[in-house]
Each structure stands twice: as C-alpha cells, then as structure tokens.
Structure 1
Amino acid sequence: MYDLLTGLSVIEASSFVASPTAGLYCAQMGAEVIRVDQIGGGPDFRRWPVTDANDSLYWENLNRAKKSLALDLGRPEGRELLQELVRATGQFITNFPVNGFLSHAVLADARADLITVRVMGWPDGSPALDYTVNNSVGYPMLTGSGPDPVNHVLPAWDLLTGAYAAFALLAAIQRRSMTGEGGEVRIPLSDVAIGTVANLGGVAEMLYTGANRPRLGNAVYGLFGRDFVTRDGQRTMIVVVTPRQWDNLVTALKLNDAIAAIEATRGISFASDDGLRFTHRDALYPLFECAIGAHTHADLAAAFDAGGIVHSPYRTMYDAVQDPALVADNPIFGAADNPSGFTYPAAGAFATLPRHDRQPPRAAPRNGQHSEEILSGRLSLSSGEIARLVDAGIVGVE
C-alpha cells in the first residue's frame, strides 16, 4: 500500500470481481475506499475458495484495505443512507444496475459534480460475466487445438475492466479539477473485451484475412514459441522474441548446422524474422523437439538463463505458491490480520515507486466493521441515531 491517493475517498457498492478490483487498486494506493454491502454480506460474500468455516478467501483478498458499511438495502431508509453517503463523498464505483436508486441521474440531482464509475456487462445495461463475454469475442475458439471451445479459468476481462475503471475514475477526477464537472463513466465488460481484441490487431486481422486464425494449441501465433518436453519429462515453454535470443537458443542446442541447412533449402534466413520462424515451424519444431528431449531440464535451464532465453517450466499453482521468488521473498507480500483467521502471505500494491516505502498489506474488513465510524464521520449522525438504525436492523455492525 502507498500514500499516493491519500485524501481521496471513494464509495464502492459492488460484487464479484471487476468493480471490487477497481476499489482494491485505489485502496492499495492510499485512497479511503468504503465498501457498502447488504447486512450479512452481498452475493459474493461466500464466493469460493472458502475455508472450512465458509469464510471466503476470494472476498477477503479482493477487499483488502477497505472499510465496510453494512446496510439493509432492501429497505428505503437503508437505500437513502447509501445515496446520502455517495453524495457526501463525491466519488462512487459500482456495478449495480444502470437504473434504480443508484442511477447517476438520481444521485447527481443533489451533487452535480458527482463522479460515478459504473461497471456494466453490455452497453445497453444487460448482464454479462467474464466467462460469457470471453465467449462472445471468440477467444475460446482460438484456445487449444480444437474442435471444441476451451475456456480459461482466469477472469481476464473482469481484471482488465477493474484496472481500467480505477484509471477512468482518476481521469474523471482530473477532468473535474479542471472543469468542475462530474459525470458518469460507463465501462462495459464487452467493450473492454472487444476493444482489447482490436488493440491487439484482432479486428483488423479478421477483416483483412476474411477468416479465423488457425488454432495452435500451445504454440504462440507469429513467433517461435511452444512447449517442449525435456529428457526428464519436464514440459517447458520457450519463446523467442529477439534475434539475439534466437541465436543463443540455436547455439545452446547445437542446431546451427541443421538450421543453416533448412535456410539453404528453403532460401530464407531465420536470423531476424519472427514470421519466418513461425511460418516454417513444420521444419523447426521436430529439430527442437529432438534436441530438447536429449537434455534434462536443469541443464537446459542453466544454458537458457546464460543466454537470456525466455523459458519457464509448467507447474501447478500449488507449486508456484511454494516458490520463494514469487511469494515468500517477494516484497509485494506481507502479513495481515484476516477475518477468516487463516494466516498466509497477503498481496499489497504491485507497483514499485521510488522514494515511497511499501507498506504492509492491510486486512479486509468484517461486514459492517466501520458502520458507526462512517455514519458518524461522513453523515454526522449522532450516536443515538446510529443506535436507532442498528436496533431497527437498517445498519449492521460487526
């Protein structure tokens, strides 16, 4: 956690991944992020993975460094409290529906400079999830070898949308500082997905070629990159992106003469052309399969590291978590008290900033942990009024 956004307060009313990620990134940079949930937790409060006591490790980590206000949002008074809080604060992140009591028009009626960042499924407000948006833009039909679609387990569009939402919030705040104007920023998952396809050349490629790209399994499109198996059975990924890496890879595997023979036969040079190495993979792959299969992974790793060759063995997530370089010795991790009671390394901010000391990650809140503090400090409610709301079941406290 850093102090770069100290002084910025944000109200977050959201669930699942994209919208909470936006709030998380703001909180990790020092903003006060107040997450508002239904008393007892929203629909993602028990989202797997969970402990034996049914505490969500997912929720616990997407909501670190935030404060929690618990309200009964099914009752008018609970909804009005959330509206008042948003207006009093001036910055709001949500993935709640476009229309209704949290519409920007309703909220901005009493706070013209309000900034709302609204994460959506589709631009028309209809719902979508990462897994359905991913299908809609075609990636499962590019993944794997076919013919069946292959989903991936990483919610990439949720995470990209969350990061983009945090960026968009800061951009809107900058605009407000110059113009005095607020507004609603809408970020549909579907637009993030198809826009990213376009940014990577995919829209242009489809229209230019008039056809789908062939499915390549673990091969990297347009580069020399693929998985190979070593003599001791270790599957490893190797990717070449520079002429130097290509030269060093060929030399490390003692394939110089064999590569030169292919170049002479086909009248080409692989030295500085990524596309040719991909196009002629039918001749190259068998050579590399044989050469790599003749060595142990340890021997190859040492040679590849010395030559600056990009490679990595495949391993399970459990194995990755045991790697000290990734977790135990990585300064983004630290100790934090966790509502689940389970002790483990917690991730803080990913960025490294000069002249800013990285602070240990902070705990996620318990549902309603900060309700009294927020209602008193933000809405100036008296202790007696807060007690009445708690007794009436409109406000939850931990």
Structure 2
Amino acid sequence: MTMQAQATTPAALAGVRVVEMGQLIAGPFCGKTLGDFGAEVIKIEPPGGGDPLRNWRMLKDGTSLWWQVQSRNKRSVALDLRQAQGQDIARRLIVEADVLIENFRPGTLEGWGMSPEELHRLNPGLVILRISGYGQTGPYRDLPGFGVIGEAMGGLRHLTGEPGHVPVRCGISIGDTLAALHGAFGVLAALHHRNVNGGQGQVIDVALHEAVFNCMESLIPEYSAFGTVREPAGSALPGIAPSNAYPCTDGWVLVAGNGDSIFKRLMESIGRADLAAAPDLASNAGRVARVAEIDAAIQAWTSPRTVGHVLDALATARVPAGKVYTAQDICEDPHYRARGMLLELHTRDGDTIEVPGIVPKLSATPGSIRSSAPHLGDDTDVVLREAGFSEAQIALLRDTAVVA
C-alpha cells in the first residue's frame, strides 16, 4: 500500500497547528504521531546540520532511514534560535500555533525569552508540551537525561534480561517512545479541555522516567505490601504460568498457556495429558509452583519441531502462540499487509522505501502519510511568507544566517 492511497481521507486533527522544537526522539515522535492524524507540524531545526537524527543509523542518499519514518508529514524550517531574531521568528510562529512541543533541558525556553508565562501572554490558548529527563520540577530537573536513563530510573532496565546477568536494552528507544505517547495523550487532553472550557491552554510536563514508571504494572504495590522487589525473569512472565519463549529447530515461539482451560488444551496438544489432569495445576498458583517442570515439558515438545509445525498445532488447540518476528518476517507477513501496516513512501531523493503504517486505526478519520520527510529548511521560505514576512525580509534573514 502506498502513502498516496490514504492521503484523501479525512483527518482527525485537521486544523491543529503544531510547532515542534524538539530533536532526536521523544519530542519528534510525538510530533510524528500528531502529524499522522492530520495536524500541521512545523519542525524548527538548527541551520547547518539540523536534527541529529538525520544522521543516525543507516543512511540512504546521505539521510537516515529512521528520519524518513520520524519526520513524515512535517515541514522543516531552518532557524537559529541562538540569535534574537531567530527567537522572534519562533515566537511569531508559536503565536499562530495550537501546540508547542519541546524536549530541551528545563530552562532552555526561558533562556530564549519563551517561558510558558510569556508564550501564554502572547497566545492564551497554546498547549505547551515539555518533555525532559526528570521533569520541570524536583531536585533532578537540571540533570541531563536521555531515554536510556529514564528506562533505568523508571524500573524497566532492572527487569530486562536474564537473572544474574547485565541489564539489557530492549532493542529500541522505548523510554523516548513511551514519553512521546504520554505527551501525545496529554496534548489531546489539553486541546479538549481548551475547546470545551473557555479556550485556555496549559503546560504538559512529561518526564522520561515517569513515562516508563507509569507502565510498571504492580511493581510498587508488590513492594509496598510485601517488600517484594521484582527481579528479571528473561522471557518468562513472572507469577503467571506458563508463558515463555521456547526453542524450535528453526527459531523461537512464544507460548501463552496461562489460562486455566488454555493450559489443559496446551498440555493435551503436546501429549502431556497427565499434566492437563493434575489437580494442583488447574489454577495459576499451582502452575507457578511447578513452572520449571511445565516449561521443560513444553520445550521438550517444541525443540525437535519447526516453528510452523508448532504454530499449526497450537492454533488447532486454540492456544495463543506466535513466532518471534524479524524485520524480514514482518515484511513477508500477509497480515501486516492486509492491515496496511507496511506503506510505500516516496522520499524527496526519489527513492521508494517501506515504512511502518499508522496506529491506531480510526474508522471515520484514519491517519495518513501526506508528505515524506523534508530536507533541512525545505519549507523555510513558505512558512515565513505565511507568517507575513516579505521576500526582502526573508533575503535579509538568509544573509544574516538567521534562517537557512
């Protein structure tokens, strides 16, 4: 499916103007999420190199492929915010905006004369999303913080990996992404409040570690009630059995046989009717007590079989199971394509690549990819003209390197 195939559908956030002043991951992922659903996103980048994400990981035609995902549906304005004139231009853009996204260290906006108080004086309805390592208040507010640090402080890294081994990264920038999604929810909540309660904007304060911490399930009440410190458990789901990854001859499968009736069907399908009929395994508590024995029985059945054989047998038994997918598996999977989760994107360098589709799926106002990721400053002149700058003024700003 191509991005053009979705470009004519209605947009849920049509008419919402966003100024994105963040860079790298958390702020821009939030901007990308809002842009997917129709918001107009104006991304302000520093002249010269722009957002560092442009050069991260694998490059094609000199531009990061990650950038093509993160910056679709955005317009790029190259603007030097270190200069007073650049700050004045940013304020003019923000005055006309509904939302400002920034993920600088706390105090940076204030140093540019763009404190929330000043911005709300100019634009009372403005929703300001501020994403930072530790939040805008508290004793750690001024410390530098990236997503990986938020994952550690939020409790996630301690639980990720095998018992007794070094805590591992989950493989993606999950701390930044969780903060971005919390930020997007906060923006939508604040816009709704503004629209039904008199037009007043507000500040949304998202800390990276708090976004991670918010997803830590029963971590704190278990400690509060019993003094239990949850520990890493590899691929297993602690306290819920059986749920684990099991080896096959050509890969791994995840099997979630932790429902009472599901467990019986699973045991019968692997030839262990004795375990299916055991009275003490009829409930989760009993299965947790014998989880090592159960895991060994499942592994003994999966190990000599292919992933396909295992999945077919468990689907027949109505037991939730799934292959551990690679990028190749995703791209070859018909379900991903049937759901529109792999879209063709035509880059501004003339290439065609596949990118992830849009989540969630709205029935009446689905999201769309309306434009590919911009080159640095692609839209500077157009945006400045829309803001009321004359051609002579734009030329002067270029001569003084305020814009590029």
Q: TM-score, normalised by structure 1?
A: 0.89
Q: Secondary structure at the match of 1:196?
A: coil
Q: Which amino acid aligns with 1:375?
A: L
Query: Aligned in 2, Cα 1:111/1:355: closer, same or farther, shift over 3 Å?
Result: closer
Q: Deviations over 1:288-324 (max 9, x none)?
A: 222333433332211111222222233433x334323
- Which of 235, 260, 266 in structure 1 is aligned with 2:252? 235
Aligned to 1:256: 273
Candidates 48, 51, 65, aligned match of 1:57: 65
Q: Tell me, in whole angstroms, the C-alpha distance in 2 between the residues paired with 1:141 and 1:45.
A: 28
1:52 to partner: Cα distance? 5.3
Measure, in 2, the Cα distance between the counterparts of 1:24 and 1:370: 17
Most deviating of 164-173 and 207-216: 207-216
Change (3 A) 1:356 1:194: closer
Distance in 2 (alpha carbons) for counterparts of 1:253 and 1:302: 12
Select between 154-163 and 322-331 the one with higher mean Cα deviation.
322-331
- Measured in 1, the distance between the counterparts of 2:340 and 2:68 equals 20
Whether 1:364 aligns to 2:373 is yes
In 2, are the aligned partners of 1:348 and 1:361 still within 8 Å (CA)?
no
| Partner of residue 170, structure 2 | 152
Opposite residue 384 of structure 2, the aligned amino acid is: L
* Separation of aligned partners in 1, 2:342 and 2:295: 39
Deviation at 1:93, TM superposition (A): 0.9
Structure 1 range deviating more: 96-105 or 249-258: 96-105
**Count of paired positions:** 384
Matched letter for residue 65 of structure 1? N
Distance 1:299 1:334, change over 3 A: closer
Aligned equivalent of 1:103, options 105, 111, 115: 115
Confirm or deny: 8 A CA contact 1:119 1:188 kept in the other structure.
yes
> After the TM superposition, which residues 171-210 of structure 1 pair with which residues of structure 2 at under 5 Å, given as runs?
171-177=189-195, 178-197=197-216, 200-210=217-227
1:323 is aligned to 332
CA distance in 2, matches of 1:185, 1:246: 45
Is contact 2:75–2:379 with CA below 8 Å preserved after alignment?
Answer: yes
Q: Secondary structure at the match of 1:34?
A: strand
Cross-structure match for 1:351:
360
Q: Name the aligned partner's letter for residue 142 of structure 1.
A: L
4+ residue runs of structure 1 moved beyond 6 angstroms?
none
Q: Equivalences for 1:11-30 in 2 at 5 Å?
A: 11-30=19-38
Separation (CA, whole Å) in 2 of partners of 1:158 and 1:12: 16
Do the aligned partners of residues 358 and 211 (structure 1) sit closer, same or farther apart at CA in structure 2, a change above 3 Å counting?
A: closer
Cα distance in 2, alignment partners of residues 8 and 141 from structure 1? 39
AA in 1 matched with 2:204: V
Partner of 1:375 in structure 2?
A: 384
Q: Which residue of 2 aligns with 1:33?
A: 41
Structure 1 position 393 matched with structure 2 position 401: yes
Could you state the TM-score of these two structures normalised by the residue count of structure 2? 0.87
Deviation string for 1:296-355 (max 9, x for gaps)? 3332211111222222233433x3343233655541332222145442112342222224
Distance 2:245 2:339 in 1: 27
Q: Supply the distance in 1 between the matched residues of 2:95 and 2:62 (Cα, whole angstroms).
A: 35
Letter in 2 for 1:93: I
Counterpart amino acid of residue 284 in structure 1: I
Q: 1:165: Cα distance to partner? A: 0.9
Of the three residues 114, 119, 126, the one matched with 1:114 is: 126
CA distance in structure 2 between the aligned counterparts of 1:255 and 1:29, rounded to whole angstroms: 50
Distance 2:263 2:309 in 1: 18
Instruction: Select the residue among 95, 98, 102 that pairs with 1:87.
Output: 95
Distance across 2 between alignment mates of 1:361 and 1:274? 48
Q: What is the identity, as a one-letter code, of the residue corresponding to 1:28?
A: D
Give the letter for the 2:400 counterpart.
A
- Pick closer, same or farther for the CA change 1:51–1:321 going to 2, 3 Å: farther
Deviation, 1:361, is: 5.4
Q: Say if 1:337 and 1:363, in contact at 8 Å, map to a contact too.
A: yes
Matched position secondary structure for 1:108: helix
Q: 1:56 to 1:109 in 2, by over 3 A?
A: same
**Taking structure 1 as reference, are residues 182 and 95 closer, same or farther at Cα in structure 2, changes over 3 Å only?**
same
Moved more, 278-287 or 56-65: 278-287
Q: 1:309 aligns with which of 300, 303, 319?
A: 319
Offset from partner CA, 1:260-279 (integer Å, 9 cap, x none): 3xx35xxx2x33x2333222
Where does residue 294 of structure 2 map in the other structure? 284
User: Is residue 226 of structure 1 aligned with residue 234 of structure 2?
Assistant: no
Moved more, 57-66 or 45-54: 45-54
Match of 2:3 in 1: none
Q: Is the 8 A contact 2:11 2:366 kept in 1?
A: no
Equivalent residue, structure 1, for 2:262: 245
CA-based RMSD: 2.2
Q: In structure 2, what is the Cα distance between the partners aligned to 1:24 and 1:359?
A: 11
**Counterpart-to-counterpart distance in 1, 2:189 and 2:366:** 25
Quick check: 1:13–1:36 contact (8 Å CA) kept in 2? yes
User: How much has 1:169 moved relative to structure 2?
Assistant: 1.0
8 Å CA contact 1:327–1:345 kept in 2: the answer is: no
273, 296, 308: which one aligns with 2:306: 296
1-structure distance, mates of 2:253, 2:184:
35
Decide which moves more: 39-48 or 365-374.
Answer: 39-48
Q: Please say if residues 56 and 340 of structure 1, whose CA atoms lie closer than 8 Å, have aligned partners that are also in contact.
A: no
Change (3 A) 1:50 1:74: farther
Amino acid of the residue matched to residue 222 of structure 2? Answer: E
**Secondary structure at the residue paired with 2:206?**
strand
CA contact (8 A) 1:333 1:360 kept: no
Residue type of the partner of 1:165? G
Query: Once the 2 structures are TM-superposed, how far is the Cα of residue 37 of structure 1 from its aligned partner?
Result: 0.7
- Using the TM superposition, name which of 30-39 and 306-315 deviates more: 306-315
